[in-house]
C-alpha cells in the first residue's frame, strides 16, 4: 500500500516532473496521476539519451514502462493538449482522465489572452485555465464525459487512484503542480497567484485520494528558487548575473525568463513545511547552487557546501533530504536512502 504525493515548496519550476519520474522508476509505480489547476504549468525531464520531454497535461511518470498516467477529477483538461501528448509519447491505452474534469475550450483561451489584468498584472500564462475554472465554479463548464473526442480516455480516476494505493505492493505517485507559494488561498502575494491551491492536501483533493492511504509527502525544494511573472522573490539576483553564471532558466512552454534567487528564504520554507507536512525532501538544482555537483550520481560526490545546505533545509522543514538533484538528465539524481528491492 503506497501513495506518494509530490508538492513544490515555493513558486514552482523546481523539478517536480523529474522527481515524479524518478519515483515512478524507483518504486515501479503502477499509476502517476496529475493534480493541480490544469494546463497552465509544464513539467519536463531530459532522458538519458538526451531527449527533452515536455508536457503540461499528463504527468511524465510514463517513462517507467509499467506506469499508467491519469488526470484527476479536480484538474482541467484541454482536449487539444491531451491529444498532442498522447500522440507524442505513444500513450494510447496508458492515459486516463476523469469524466468529471472541467474542459478548457478555445473560447477560454481567447478570453484570457484578451484579459489585460491577467496578462499584464498577474503574469498569467493565459492558457484558458482561469476562465475555465471560473466557469466550472459557476457550474456552466463542459465536463470531459460530455466531449465525444475524450471518450477513449474517460474513467473514474478517483476510484482507480484509491484502488491502486490501497492494494498491497502497488504504488501511486500524485504529481502536484506549480508551488505552495502560488496558492490562491495561502500565498501572501495575491493577486500574483494561480487560480487554485498547490499544497499536498490540495493535490490529494484534486485526485480524490483518501488521506489514510498517503504514505509519503515529498516536498521539492529548489536550492536557488525561481519565479515567473510578477510578485516578490526574496534574494533575487539580476538576470545578467544568472546569465553570467550559466544558470539562467526559461519557462518550459512559454520561454519566459525565470527570475532567480541567490538562495532560500528559510522563513518561507518553514511556512511551506507547516502547510504540507513533508516526510521527505527532494533538494533540486544543486548543480546551480554548487557547479561541482553537476551530473554527480553517488553519495560520495555530495560537496561540503551542499551538505551544509541539506542540514539547513532539514532543520527548517523537519524532514530528511532523501533526494539530491544534480543536473538535467533523469539519472542526475542521488538517493540518500537505499532503493527498495524485490
- 39 known ligand binder: no
List active site positions: 13
28: Cα within 13 Å, side-chain hemisphere: 7
- 46 known ligand binder: no
- 127 known ligand binder: no
- 325 known ligand binder: yes
- 171 known ligand binder: no
- 317 known ligand binder: no
- 259 known ligand binder: no
Name the nearest CA neighbour of 88 among 44, 127, 48.
44
In terms of C-beta density within 10 A (0-12 exposed, 13-18 middle, 19 or more buried), how is residue 211 classed?
Answer: exposed
- 287 known ligand binder: yes
Please enumerate, as own/partner, the contacts of 272-275 that have beta carbons within 8 Å and a separation of 24 or more.
272/9, 272/10, 272/180, 272/181, 272/219, 272/317, 273/9, 273/219, 273/316, 273/317, 273/318, 273/319, 275/180, 275/186, 275/199, 275/200
- 257 known ligand binder: yes
- 186 known ligand binder: no
- 194 known ligand binder: yes
- 303 known ligand binder: no
- 254 known ligand binder: yes
Tell me the binding residues for GTP: 258, 285-287, 325-327
Tell me the binding residues for substrate: 252-258
Tell me the binding residues: 13, 42, 125, 139, 178, 194, 252-258, 285-287, 325-327
Tell me the binding residues for Mg(2+): 13, 42
Tell me the binding residues for IMP: 125, 139, 178, 194, 256
Amino acid at each position: 500500500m503506497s501513495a506518494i504525493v509530490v508538492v513544490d515548496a515555493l513558486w514552482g519550476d523546481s523539478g517536480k516532473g523529474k522527481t515524479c519520474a524518478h519515483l515512478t522508476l524507483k518504486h515501479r509505480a503502477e499509476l502517476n496521476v496529475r493534480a493541480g489547476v490544469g494546463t497552465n504549468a509544464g513539467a519536463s525531464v531530459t532522458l538519458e539519451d538526451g531527449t527533452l520531454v515536455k508536457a503540461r497535461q499528463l504527468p511524465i511518470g510514463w517513462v517507467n514502462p509499467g506506469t499508467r498516467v491519469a488526470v484527476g477529477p479536480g484538474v482541467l483538461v484541454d482536449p487539444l493538449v491531451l491529444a498532442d501528448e498522447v500522440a507524442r509519447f505513444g500513450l494510447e491505452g496508458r492515459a486516463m482522465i476523469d469524466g468529471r474534469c472541467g474542459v478548457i475550450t478555445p473560447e477560454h483561451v481567447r478570453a484570457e489572452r484578451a484579459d489585460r489584468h491577467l496578462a499584464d498584472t498577474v503574469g498569467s500564462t493565459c492558457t484558458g485555465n482561469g476562465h475555465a475554472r471560473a466557469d466550472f465554479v459557476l457550474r456552466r463548464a463542459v465536463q470531459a464525459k460530455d466531449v465525444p473526442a475524450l471518450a477513449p480516455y474517460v474513467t473514474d480516476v478517483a476510484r482507480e487512484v484509491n484502488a491502486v494505493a490501497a492494494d498491497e505492493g502497488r504504488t501511486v505517485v500524485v504529481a502536484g503542480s506549480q508551488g505552495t507559494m502560488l496558492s490562491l488561498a495561502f500565498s501572501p502575494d495575491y493577486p500574483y497567484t494561480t487560480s487554485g491551491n498547490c499544497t499536498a492536501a490540495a493535490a490529494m483533493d484534486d485526485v480524490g485520494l483518501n488521506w489514510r492511504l498517503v504514505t509519503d509527502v515529498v516536498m521539492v525544494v529548489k536550492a536557488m528558487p525561481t519565479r515567473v511573472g510578477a510578485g516578490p522573490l526574496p534574494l533575487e539576483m539580476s538576470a545578467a548575473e544568472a546569465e553570467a553564471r550559466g544558470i539562467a532558466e526559461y519557462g518550459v512552454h512559454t520561454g519566459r525568463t525565470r527570475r532567480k534567487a541567490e538562495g532560500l528564504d528559510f522563513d518561507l520554507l518553514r511556512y511551506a513545511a507547516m502547510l504540507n507536512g513533508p516526510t521527505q525532501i527532494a533538494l533540486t538544482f544543486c548543480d546551480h547552487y554548487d557547479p561541482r555537483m553537476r551530473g554527480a550520481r553517488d553519495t560520495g560526490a555530495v560537496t561540503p557546501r551542499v551538505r551544509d545546505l541539506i542540514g539547513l533545509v532539514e532543520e527548517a522543514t523537519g524532514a530528511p533530504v532523501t533526494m539530491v538533484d544534480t543536473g538535467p538528465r533523469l539519472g542526475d539524481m542521488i538517493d540518500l536512502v537505499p532503493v527498495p528491492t524485490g
